[in-house]
Structure 1
């Protein structure tokens, strides 16, 4: 900030016109002028979120902007040129009962004039000057309401962006696999056409062709029944097939072996092929069957990829509830599964997910998309608490007349000194700019205020659990 540091006289008559000070007497106004001072500020930053809250500011002339760091971005909360608008160390009167740090940033966008009061002086007069305290508390209330609304919306957008990134990653893998398999399949079909022409021109009698076609059909059927092999088992079988091809003079047989192993075809099955065809056409018959098996494997890969994409899209619809009524009868387990799938990329491979569901529980009347937001907030916190390594446990059970949903993690737990504050709006243990402090506040409001349920923390190092209780009796639609 560019500030003119030479003393600027304080005008008592000017202060008297401001709504914040309109009820103060001359003695109090004189006290303000003696303890405060006026500054001229050029456009730029006045203070930054997270810094020690040392001063209280009142706008006398110009325009100020208040903003917060949310998700790494600076989000504008308020812009005003209203003379008398105030900001800064408004929590000074709480002393050491609250963190004395700016919970937002302030800058001026045009040359401005500000009254500056030391935080300690503000704390002193807040205790004695009741009319001013009323104004401050009113401003604090409406300012907090506005800030919560804007930050709440930003929190939802950040969650949506994170989930969209994860969904894009999850969709990209099967889509890429389907494209690759389609490209290879096109080459294999072209090879089959070429091989079919060679067979038609070769010394194949009708009976041999019929027997070969039966073997081909059996090979395709075997693909669906192929066993799952360990890398060691697959390697051993490939070696055995490679030797069979080499013994029978089939050039490049080692390249064919992986396909036959993947289809569950072993050397004894190739003996059946050898018994059907003449030695001079054995290689052509083996390669023909290889093309058939490979095309079947590729089609299975395409089918699996497309099924995976369809499953992801269905889960995204289940998560977003875009095509459904806001308030509906839902299976909570379906919502939990959709959320876990949407967060699978963020969960990663080093977190083990344990599901302990009581499938006998009835459905509940709820705001489905908002419950999904609760699961997202709590699971996301658990992932961060475990630093990407540990066990995430999701459990459902009956608890009297409620459904209990318990989400636990093996992270270090919540420190004793902050447990009572975790549901407070804007309270966060994350570095400045990395958390809004509204995730659990939003979750609490959704569960307690909208669903008449209960949300609580059961803390323990290595076994931290959030318990959500939802009434099994249908809640009334508001």
Structure 2
């Protein structure tokens, strides 16, 4: 029955298309989940640091208020008042922090000086004064020239001011990190931007790499070889970022948490070439011809749909480019060739 055959084939084709669409949507949701989890992880550290610093500021302000109240209740000459304020300002403006060993030595020396003058909380004060690189001679001079109670209040005020400055810096750094992450996500998703535009390819790759920072363990080194001049490609939304995300994630997984991720971007005639490589075990010869086939995967059930590299190739071709792979143990490279934005007809390699 030819008519029945036509209807069955049409129905099967519709179901295949619908199944493919569902699997692609699932892959996008999985990628979105990974991005959200990574972003939450990256945001948690600076947000927690800023929260801890704000709590520390509240405590430090109480100490500062008490020290000031004690200091200004004391009979103190105007010259000594100016001296304390000048010393505090100079320590806050110090831009030469000490390294670990020198800092430890100075802190120990200042601690012994304070203890010799009866300071019970010498360890709290010496740490702050050492971070501000306060010379031991300056501390000795201050203790010698002021009476005991005035010196105690003055040194507590100075040390607390140093702590406040450090806490404010922590909040500034945390806030800046959060802003950078939000800017990175906006670059990655192309929020507030036109659907099609000329994009600096290095910025696109780096924005993607930043969103995957949670996958880059300390044992994975990133080697970058980038051009000095900007290379522009015409892209639609965040589609190319999906390409880089898939290729970088595959490279990281191939190295099993240890190795070298190699990012090489260069110009070849009228093309831009983005090469993403790793020094993992390589792709087995029997698998290599099928890696771009839809639904082909070497992962376990539920771990992958086999549409990642097929989607990559589809997006690259949509942008008028091509993708190639060269692999051997210790050196696997995916090359994405894309036409430069100022040339409409790319000279792409065969394959």
| TM-score relative to the length of structure 1 | 0.68
Query: Does 2:243 match 1:374?
Result: yes
Measure how far apart 1:365 and its partner are.
1.5
Q: Between 390-399 and 310-319, report the one with greater CA deviation.
A: 390-399
Gaps of 5+ in 2: 345-351
Number of the residue aligned with 1:339: 208
Matches within 5 A, 1:282-293: 282-293=151-162
- Paired with 1:404 and 1:178, the residues of 2 have a C-alpha distance of 41
Counterpart of 2:220 (choices 346, 351, 375) is 351
- Bigger proportion of residues as helix: 2
Query: Does 2:311 match 1:439?
Result: no
Number of the residue aligned with 1:362: 231
CA gap of 1:287–1:174, structure 2 versus 1, over 3 A, is same
Counterpart of 1:458 (choices 326, 338, 341) is 326
Measure how far apart 1:139 and its partner are.
5.1
- Bigger proportion of residues as strand: 1
Measure how far apart 1:181 and its partner are.
0.4
Aligned residues: 344
CA gap of 1:469–1:23, structure 2 versus 1, over 3 A, is closer
Cα-to-partner distance string for 1:327-384 (whole Å, 9 max, x where unaligned): 1011111111111111111223221112211131432221240011111111111111
- Paired with 2:173 and 2:261, the residues of 1 have a C-alpha distance of 27
Secondary structure at the aligned position of 2:286 is classed as helix
CA gap of 1:267–1:339, structure 2 versus 1, over 3 A, is same
Query: Does 2:54 match 1:194?
Result: no
Secondary structure at the aligned position of 1:352 is classed as strand
Q: Is the 8 A contact 1:361 1:403 kept in 2?
A: no
Query: Does 2:15 match 1:147?
Result: no
Counterpart of 1:169 (choices 41, 45, 49) is 41
Q: Is the 8 A contact 1:215 1:273 kept in 2?
A: no
- Paired with 1:452 and 1:363, the residues of 2 have a C-alpha distance of 14
CA gap of 1:237–1:368, structure 2 versus 1, over 3 A, is farther
- Paired with 1:410 and 1:136, the residues of 2 have a C-alpha distance of 48
Matches within 5 A, 1:189-228: 189-222=61-94, 225-227=95-97
CA gap of 1:268–1:372, structure 2 versus 1, over 3 A, is farther
Matches within 5 A, 1:210-359: 210-222=82-94, 225-227=95-97, 229-230=99-100, 232-271=101-140, 273-274=142-143, 277-359=146-228
- Paired with 1:466 and 1:204, the residues of 2 have a C-alpha distance of 73
Secondary structure at the aligned position of 1:459 is classed as strand
Q: Is the 8 A contact 2:275 2:333 kept in 1?
A: yes
| TM-score relative to the length of structure 2 | 0.92
Cα-to-partner distance string for 1:268-311 (whole Å, 9 max, x where unaligned): 44245346534552222111100111101111111111111111
CA gap of 1:474–1:137, structure 2 versus 1, over 3 A, is farther
Number of the residue aligned with 1:33: none
- Paired with 1:320 and 1:212, the residues of 2 have a C-alpha distance of 52
Gaps of 5+ in 1: 1-21, 25-130
- Paired with 1:404 and 1:313, the residues of 2 have a C-alpha distance of 28
CA gap of 1:143–1:295, structure 2 versus 1, over 3 A, is same
Q: Is the 8 A contact 1:277 1:285 kept in 2?
A: no
Secondary structure at the aligned position of 1:211 is classed as helix
Q: Is the 8 A contact 2:49 2:170 kept in 1?
A: yes
Larger radius of gyration, structure 1 or 2? Answer: 1
Q: Is the 8 A contact 1:361 1:397 kept in 2?
A: no
Query: Does 2:272 match 1:403?
Result: yes
Q: Is the 8 A contact 1:330 1:366 kept in 2?
A: yes
Cα-to-partner distance string for 1:123-159 (whole Å, 9 max, x where unaligned): xxxxxxxx96x77765554333222211111111110
- Paired with 1:136 and 1:411, the residues of 2 have a C-alpha distance of 45
Measure how far apart 1:454 and its partner are.
1.3
- Paired with 1:137 and 1:258, the residues of 2 have a C-alpha distance of 78
Number of the residue aligned with 1:467: 335
Cα-to-partner distance string for 1:37-68 (whole Å, 9 max, x where unaligned): xxxxxxxxxxxxxxxxxxxxxxxxxxxxxxxx
Please give the root-mean-square deviation of Cα atoms over the aligned residues, in Å.
2.1
- Paired with 2:178 and 2:2, the residues of 1 have a C-alpha distance of 66
